[in-house]
Chains A and B, each alone.
Chain A
């Protein structure tokens, strides 16, 4: 899967994991910050995404610091998944 395809796939998974009833995939800018601004997500949403990463991609995150870079944007997350999924 290319990064662009991964981004589209991730948008749907993020909406489902966080119950973002008022958000469509088109609303999500892949380069916008996921937290605070943008979708207005908070620290518990970040932890829900950690669960999603484990369930969907088998990537286990034990330290929330790791997520700060990985969750910078949907694109950053797609790259993080590509790097960790492959290894």
Chain B
């Protein structure tokens, strides 16, 4: 077994039937159900449908020092447990930037946001503190901080496959050499958004879910979290810890079919499963059992059964679903089932899949009726999400962590020095809605963005914002029948995505070879608010099902996939300011691994009223001067930020093709930065990380002409950028210029996608350095560098084609 093979050395779960992996496993093999009455909040409309709540005292289990949403705390409990299982609870901090965290989450802190709205509607109480944990990234940041991980840290939000995709991403991070140890998993707490959302889709089985049964009538919701410690075989051997299982295969695909319904022939599911097998170097007959997604909806179970029958033909292995006992824990489910797979390799299996009575003639097989304890060598875990975001994983027994019989004939490459061509750029921005005109607009003297005043609601106050024009191209680019169903942010993203592919004839490319990865800080926060508000006000209200499907973060990437028929990996990343860069990493790695020929990658966020109000409350926004002026020389009178929005999408391919490239990407890296004793960024250590990462990708610090930072006018943030850029210059032995772009697009989570468009403009001499507040000669190599005040950061090296060999 090669040293970079990802292996599992620890697991943790908290869910309805137990607060640790072993007790959940024991409960499952006995068929104990966690389904019961909803007590977390009252729901007149859906309170009768059973749910699988975590009944343990989550606050007590965490300890009072842990602050966060219910979802965050569930994640923390599972992660702490997995670390202890792997013998890392105290040691993980010593791995520095070689250990990271990637979690999948669907709702994040929406439960707290609902409580904020409840206070507002009932007593005009504004508990803004609850909104601090709204984002899915909150759980990941909490764990990374608490356990002092400084390696790759990000958050995926691909609905019900989030936890499984996080594990696949962790596998790739280990395999590619970007980290030695990854904490990977998923979390989601119950909330009104999902209970009413699935209720509005008529997908809640009033009698509790019955996966694969002829009389199944929908899902039962659950909550929980699970985490796995995934590390390189080399690292596990060095630490001398037992290998619980090997993560031998993963496959990620997209149906590109519908917002919620799976492709009824199960093609996307089949491709995910066969891709995972191929990567594991296994044939279908090697699989001992399939831990199915098996939600209990008519559509999922039928499509999944078709995929299983197609893959395994006559020899269908035992199939089980844990959801009849644990409910559907959404972002956590793929991670919980992964732990169950690992446990079945450890103890023998498979566990039973109870609550099943009648074979569906359209499915033609029954799930596992009785727990066995047969040795399990290779186990498959499926997780499929809204938007046809499919993930399949294969876990294998480690016979011998040094040189076992496991064949690893997968196609993945571990090379890190590939170059990617940026073949197209699509933009919807306050500076224009086509790359060429935007470059011209940015470079003209006295360029000003489209600015507006809008009213933030709490209390009503006027806020100046950077705003995209209303006629950004949706009418021209998107068919009316699709347009009416989508939110503004989705339309912005679709327009930018279509324009990024223009002229590249992607319609002639096999859709399976195109992947999509989108970053977004808040997703469609306006759809979330519009769905949740009426439900919080009146728990018998009937909210709009369309709004619910739009509120799910991965509606962004999955709608792009539908629009351009992209059926490869489909990923939506929601990790604050590095959402875009993490998505870029994900997309380019699919090309590097040989799974995709094209990666359509971008970042999008929209202006939303609650964000404006919370930002105003927290003193973020400038109320005096226009426009925003980051990196102002007058340090004592620097302004504050101004809110903005936009969608910027790139179409990337492997360099060296015959196409004309606008620019090249040589390096994408992300992780967490260290701070010194007084809380300031440890600039020396940070510059060292940048230099090392660049060198690892064949780039010398001396080649960097300009750092393009996300400075936004907030002194605390701008100072960090200034000190890091100055330190880089000292290390390089020459002045490295410092440019910025938020005075052109405003402040929003994925503004760095706009920044990357500016970097492309710079190296292709379409944007003048003056426009980025860094006068001087032309630039050939630009380092896009982005910090999040919550502790993560990312960098992307963008160069003129051929400038870096």
Contact = CB atoms under 8 A, between A and B. Distances in A.
B121 interface: no
Nearest to A64: B202
A20 interface: yes
Greatest chain B CB density within 10 A among A18, A21, A42, A63 is at A42
Interface stretch (A4-12, A26-34, A50-58, A73-81): A50-58
A19 B491 CA distance: 15
A18 B485 CA distance: 8
A21 B202 contact: no
Nearest to A39: B481
A44 interface: yes
Nearest to B259: A44
Contact of B200 (A18, A45, A51): A51
A53 B453 CA distance: 38
Nearest to A43: B261
A43 B206 CA distance: 20
B545 A44 contact: yes
Given A47-B200, A50-B202, A40 B481 contact: yes
Contacts of B200: 47, 51
Contacts of A42: 258
Interface string B467-489: 00000000000001100110000
Contacts of A50: 202, 545
Contacts of A48: 544-546
Kindly state the interface size class of chain B when it binds its partner: 10 to 19
Contacts of A64: 202
A35 B206 CA distance: 27
Interface string B203-222: 00010000000000100000
Nearest to A19: B484
Given A63-B202, A64-B202, A51 B481 contact: no
A1 to B, nearest CB: 23
Of the four ranges (under 10, 10 to 19, 20 to 34, 35 or more), the interface on chain A belongs to 20 to 34
Contacts, number: 43
Interface string B534-572: 000000001111100100000000000000000000000
A44 B202 contact: no
Contacts of A44: 201, 259-260, 485, 545-546, 549
- Which of A48, A55, A61 has the most C-beta atoms of chain B within 10 angstroms of its own C-beta? A48
Contacts of A63: 202, 217
A64 B205 CA distance: 12
Give the residue among A19, A22, A47, A64 with the most B Cβ atoms within 10 A.
Answer: A47
Given A42-B258, A47-B201, A21 B544 contact: no
B492 to A, nearest CB: 18
A66 to B, nearest CB: 10
Contacts of B261: 43
Contacts of A18: 484
A43 B201 CA distance: 9
Contacts of A20: 484
Nearest to B480: A22
B484 A54 contact: no
A62 B549 contact: no
B702 to A, nearest CB: 55
Contacts of A22: 480
9 contacts: A20-B484, A21-B480, A22-B480, A44-B545, A48-B544, A51-B542, A51-B543, A51-B544, A62-B202
Interface of A: 18-22, 40, 42-45, 47-48, 50-51, 54-55, 61-64
